[in-house]
Amino acid sequence: MIPLCYADPGEVQIIKKIGGSPEVKQHLENLGFNVGGEVVIINSLGGNVIVKVKESRIAINDEMARRIMV
């Protein structure tokens, strides 16, 4: 398992664990990051990560990307 921010761009990753406080976990789940779901890194720009989750593109900061384990 590695944090999402270290995964290779363009490759489909499976979310294995979401860390952080209950509020952070709930926020990420509301955005579509669920354990067992697929996520693809599209691009990394200046500490932000653009990902594709459930046919949507979402930008999250590096701190949030470190809490998502793939």
| Residue 18, pLDDT score | 95
Phi-psi region of 58 (alpha: psi -120 to 50; beta: other; left: phi over 0): beta
**Per-residue confidence band for 49, with pLDDT thresholds at 50, 70 and 90:** very high
Domain positions in the chain: 4-56
| Residue 46, pLDDT score | 82
Tens-place pLDDT, residues 10-44: 999 999 999 999 999 999 999 999 999 999 999 98
| Residue 45, pLDDT score | 86
| Residue 70, pLDDT score | 95
| Residue 56, pLDDT score | 92
Q: How far apart are the first and last CA of the chain?
A: 5
